[in-house]
Copies of this chain bind each other. A is one copy, B any other.
Amino acid sequence: MPTPVTTNVDAANDESISRLFNSQPVLIDVAPAHEVVPGMTTRTILTSGAPLAADAYTGGQRLGLLGAAVYEGFASTIDEAETLLREGALTIDGCHDHGVVGSVAGITSASMPVLVVEDASTGRRGFCTLFEGASPARLNYGVWNDDVRVNLDQLKNEVAPALRTAIQAVGGVPLKPIIERALRQGDELHSRNSAASLLFLREILPGLLSLNERDQKVLTDYLAAGDYFFLRPSMAACKVMADSMRDVEGSTLVTAMAMSCSEFSIRVSGTGDRWFRGPLPTLQDCHLFPGHTRDDLEVMGGESIITEVCGLGGLAQAAAFPLQSYQGGSAQALIERNLEMYAVAHTEHPTFKIPALDYRGCPAGIDIRRVVQSGTTPLMDVGLPGKGGGQVGAGAYRAPMSPFQEACEALGL
């Protein structure tokens, strides 16, 4: 590869990453998806990963799509929905093409509330559905039953309006300062969001206090129930930040990583909307909930790995030693893997810093050239769905190499 080309690529990557660094994601609203998501109709159902043919969605991801069709009233039973899907009568699309990122199956349909995150510097927006709360009945983990419907209704009719009012009362919640602080408090903002969820609670508190008594209780119960609320704001913020890196000519930085039930795919700044597709990632460490084995696992897709694109999650494991008890490993392993990730990164993040690494900046900007040259692919912290639906554990995935190689070839590298 001749030197001038490399120099141009480096300059393109500098431009791309500087946009990510300058992005200022702010949570400004919660609204029904069809009202705010670009290109979304009342018939659209979004799902995780580079889009597949309708028949290629299988297992939990397929059930999630069918459940959404029933939830939105396009069909009255799963069987009816299955017929519609086979006949091409459902509008299925990939989340990423609409500024959305989806958790696990990533099912996002018209009436579902989504967090609206806006870059204060550019106005660019990103979206993500709400954390489903303590309920194990989650459409995104491939479950459809009355409990799921009740939970989705409660999110739509009670939680979202209360959260919307509270967000508007405080004039929006800047998310980057929360991410920066949470990295000092044991979170890597993907599989661990315990501190970030508390920091968000503190920021939204004046808005919470402004609500009527009923809404106060709804929102308090929702926000104080667990430690996972902030994953969704983190994902939407990362979608905004990652998209800010898009479409820089010649840039080799990854702007999206996403999974469907059968593929792992990436997008690269210099190649726009093109997906480079490969096999599913391989599972490294994992920790399964009691009573489960690896045979129980089923991939249903997932786009929370947008956090890794921004230097968080699997690229910031040393910020989150408590991951040991959630997804396995040891403190030393978390440090070593984190250090390994610098080999794939364009640079270090100026404000996302890791205290255990003496405040070294997170690896920032996954460079497909560095991935290929180092033979190292990105690590990703993930929740693990199981056959028959629901979460059965958590672990760390290792991305496949082929999409990075193909992307290099596409850019003539």
Contact = CB atoms under 8 A, between A and B. Distances in A.
Interface string A199-243: 101100110110000001100100010000000000000000000
Interface in A67-86: none
Contacts of A195: 185-186, 195, 198
A184 B324 CA distance: 11
Interface in A239-267: none
Nearest to A220: B205
A338 to B, nearest CB: 12
The secondary-structure label for the interface of chain A is helix
A41 interface: no
B185 A359 contact: no
A321 interface: yes
Interface stretch (A91-99, A151-159, A350-358): A350-358
A161 B252 CA distance: 59
Interface in A52-69: none
A330 to B, nearest CB: 5
Given A186-B186, A186-B195, 11 more contacts: A184-B194, A185-B185, A195-B195, A198-B202, A201-B202, A201-B205, A205-B224, A209-B216, A331-B356, A331-B357, A331-B358
Nearest to A195: B185
A223 B327 CA distance: 33
Most B Cβ at <10 Å: residue of A198, A324, A357: A198
